[in-house]
Structure 1
Amino acid sequence: MLRVAVVGGSGYIGGELIRILLGHPEVELCAATSNRFANRRVDSVHPNLRNVCDLTFTHPEDLGTYDVVFLAVPHLESMKQASGLLKLGDVVIDLTADFRLPDEEVFRRYYKVPHEAPELLGEFVGGLPELHRKELRDADRISVPGCMATAAILALWPVADVGLLEPDVSVDARTGSSGSGASSGPADTHSERANVLRVFAPIGHRHEAEIEQATGLRVTMTATGVDAVRGVQVLCRGRFVGEVDEKLLRTIYREYYGDEPFVRVVAQRRGVYRLPEPKILSGSNFCDVGFALDTAERRLVLIGALDNLVKGGAGNAVQSMNIRFGWPERLGLEFPGLHPN
């Protein structure tokens, strides 16, 4: 069994990593760290793990070395501590934004700070299996993309890759409150967050750069907080070139995703859930993608939905680990979601 550790185990993503890894048949979860909760039981912070997890949180300074280390620390912390963190594991899987963008100037433009470990940029393989499966098989440093970026990339990539989209697209993203993390500020208290449709990033969202580098498109992105805890939904709007109809789009998506274990094409004419919707994906590692088009105006809407904490984070990380060690990709990730929820 592989010995694994989660650095930053007290947040929402850290909790999801712990939950998934505890049920993984090929790993032993040896440690989960927290500065604030060191020496306290993990299930005192993640109550869903009562009678499932007997670990106590380890202080980061007390970590040993492991076969795999997952980094679920706050954004901009991985790069500050990179020299030490990368020594902790033979394979390091980073869930922060710090190593997603290989270009130092692009990173500075979107994150408004200089990168503190620029020599490591470009050394991380993208932790999105659908695009980087081959590279992940030998990767020792993996960077998992953002949740909204993952949904948008998976919705856009097949159509962009075959050249059916004009280069300029807009991405309208909606996300639940857990996307702000467990230590978010006053804007995410229940009284302020309930019943909202709050536009928190009207222009220039950081995930634009991730989507652009994966698809080759020019992206403008808006993000809105909605009255949900989990879930991401993106509507990617653009114009198509050539002759495009519903049959062609369905064929393209099936060619790209027909063998993918965690991407489903959802574009139906009837039913309550005719198009991708995150409500039924809660707790699962699925990303549902779908489409709608207006042939008269050459307009196309590509839709993606996922659980931001699973396929948008912890699940993608574990799926990447499975590929790295030659295991079935579904291992530890079989939970199908809930309905009703």
Structure 2
Amino acid sequence: MNKIKTAIIGAAGYTGGELLRILVNHPSCDLVCVHSNSQKGKKVTDVHPDLIGDCNLVFTDEVPTTGLDAVFLGLPHGETKGFLEANPFSEETVLIDLSTDFRDESNGFVYGLPEVNSEKIKSAKKIANPGCFATGIQLALAPAISKGWVNSPVQISGITGSTGAGKKLSETSHFSYRTGNMSVYKLFTHQHLKEIKQTFRQLNEEFDSELLFVPYRGNFSRGIWVTAYFPFEGTEEEAVNAYKEFYKDAAFTHVSDRDIDLKQAVNTNKCILHVQKEAGQLVIYSAIDNLLKGASGQAVQNFNLAFGLDEKTGLNLKSIAF
């Protein structure tokens, strides 16, 4: 098979950098264009110095609209639509968008959560990559939603590392703010709730429960930890078996019989779940890396599915435990 000619649009940020780190070593990818308006003319290694010896490309603000097999779109939220209007790619080019612009599955995009939509993704030319919190929450609750177990408000809390705020500096991403600190933001109103509810209604047309989500800023750089719980009349064994059955064919989502921790998931494309029943509640813990399974790793997983590759190609990433 010829290598897949690929471009990354918006490659200077955190998710763009993660895409570069994965794709320069992906055996089926030929990375031919690395785009950035702000860094045009600079070597990739001037912006991502850890890639010295791995990438000799230079950032450009010019993008070929022909001759590309795949394009990853890592632009800020709200900018992808305008970019695609100005740069009409071939209908045969696979587009994978990491912004919020098409997660409502408008303009022919398929929502790219492989554990739910793998068959659609395999034949898609336009894929909307899920959000990071959305991924952790959906994978925590999808089996329960599909079983019809959720009939009351779901209590959800989630804490994310500072890279979830993006590379552009803001007051709440300063080291002096984050270190030794925690804070809540977007209480019950987080933008990812819309796409989460969309998936849950696809899994179960009768789903209409509130998702009471409390997002926290964490004092670490990467990773997401989600805790979700709701009243449950069944047994813990029944729930664990249902979760394992739901994810039996999932390449990266695993149900652990033991307590889990965040470091198990950091630097991987995994979602690691733990399910238990306590005080009449079914409690699910979900751990992912926000930049990998929550963004760039999942985007490459979707790339693999769209091109008929093994889902794990280029994504065996874990190298450290501590």
Same-fold status (TM-score > 0.5) = yes
- Measured in 2, the distance between the counterparts of 1:188 and 1:11 equals 14
Q: Distance in 2 between the 1:200 and 1:290 partners?
A: 26
Q: Distance in 2 between matches of 1:218 and 1:82?
A: 35
Q: Deviations over 1:50-85 (max 9, x none)?
A: 1111111111x3444311000001111112323134
Matched, 1:232 2:224: yes
Matched, 1:264 2:254: yes
Q: In the alignment, is residue 291 of structure 1 matched against residue 275 of structure 2?
A: yes
Distance 2:155 2:56 in 1: 46
Q: Partner amino acid for 1:51?
A: G
Q: Aligned partners of 2:45 and 2:65: how far apart in 1? A: 22
Identity of aligned residues (%): 34
Q: Matched residues in 1 for 2:77 and 2:86: separation?
A: 16
Letter in 2 for 1:230: R
The residue that corresponds to 1:222 in the other structure is 214
Give 1:92's aligned residue. 95
Is the aligned partner of 1:155 residue 2:108? Answer: no
5+ residue gaps, structure 2: 202-208
1:146 aligns with 2:136: no
User: Where in structure 1 are there 5+ consecutive unaligned residues?
Assistant: 103-120, 269-273
RMSD: 1.6
Matched residue count: 311
Query: How do 1:314-325 residues align onto structure 2 when only pairs under 5 Å count?
Result: 314-325=296-307
State whether structure 2 residue 27 is matched by structure 1 residue 25. yes
**Displacement after TM superposition at 1:234 (Å):** 0.8
Q: Which residue of 1 aligns with 2:265?
A: 281
Distance 1:26 1:62 in 2: 21
Contact 1:212 1:218 in 2 (8 A): no
How far did 1:337 drift? 5.2
Aligned residue type for 1:284: T
**8 Å contact 1:175–1:231 — kept in the other structure?**
yes
CA–CA separation in structure 2 for the residues paired with 1:223 and 1:233: 10
Deviations 1:22-47 (A, max 9, x none): 11111101111111111111111112
When the two structures are superposed, what TM-score results if normalisation uses the length of structure 2?
0.92
Partners of 1:257 and 1:264 in 2: how far apart? 7
Q: Provide TM-score, normalisation by structure 1.
A: 0.87
Distance 1:173 1:122, change over 3 A: farther
Q: Distance in 2 between matches of 1:90 and 1:265?
A: 35
| 1:283, distance to aligned residue in structure 2 (A) | 1.8
How many angstroms does 1:90 deviate by? 0.8
Q: How does 1:1-341 map to 2 (within 5 A)?
A: 1-59=3-61, 61-65=62-66, 66-87=68-89, 90-102=93-105, 121=106, 123-216=108-201, 217-240=209-232, 242=233, 244-268=234-258, 274-275=259-260, 277-294=261-278, 297-336=279-318, 338-340=320-322
